[in-house]
Structure 1
Amino acid sequence: MPHHERERFLAEPRIGVLGVTDSRGDRAPLLVPVWYHYEPGGEVVVQTGRETVKARLLGAAGRFSLCAQDENRPYRYVSVEGPITSVTDPVDPALRESMAHRYLDPEEARAYLAATADQLKDDITVHMRPQHWRTANFAAFAADFAGDGQFRTDG
Structure 2
Amino acid sequence: MTYSDGDPNGFLDEPHVGVLHAVARTGTLAVPVWYRRAADDISVITSLGSRKGRAISESGRFGLVVSTGYRYVSLEGPVVETRECDFARDLVPMAARYLGGDGGRYAALWRDAVGDDLRVFVMRPEHRYSADVTGEFAALGIRPLPLP
- Shared fold by TM > 0.5? yes
Computing the radius of gyration over CA atoms, which structure comes out larger, 1 or 2?
1
**Structure with the larger strand share:** 2
Q: Is 1:92 aligned to 2:86, yes or no?
A: yes
Q: Who is 1:46 aligned against?
A: 44
**Structure with the larger helix share:** 2
Structure-1-length-normalised TM-score? 0.81
User: How many residues align structurally?
Assistant: 140
Q: Is 1:116 aligned to 2:110, yes or no?
A: yes
Q: 1:130 to 1:140 in 2, by over 3 A?
A: same
Q: Secondary structure at the residue paired with 1:14?
A: coil
Measure how far apart 1:3 and its partner are: 9.6
Contact 1:49 1:122 in 2 (8 A): yes
Of 108, 119, 133 in structure 2, the residue corresponding to residue 138 of structure 1 is 133
Q: Secondary structure at the residue paired with 1:146?
A: coil
Higher relative contact order (CA 8 A, sep 6+): 2
Of 97, 101, 122 in structure 2, the residue corresponding to residue 102 of structure 1 is 97
Q: Secondary structure at the residue paired with 1:59?
A: helix
* Structure 2 gap ranges (5+): none
* Structure 1 gap ranges (5+): 150-155
Structure-2-length-normalised TM-score? 0.84
Q: 1:148 to 1:54 in 2, by over 3 A?
A: closer
- Counterpart amino acid of 1:109? G
Q: Who is 2:32 aligned against?
A: 33
Counterparts of 1:56-67 in structure 2, within 5 Å, are 56-67=54-65
Q: Say what the alpha-carbon RMSD is for the aligned residues.
A: 2.2
- Counterpart amino acid of 2:78? P
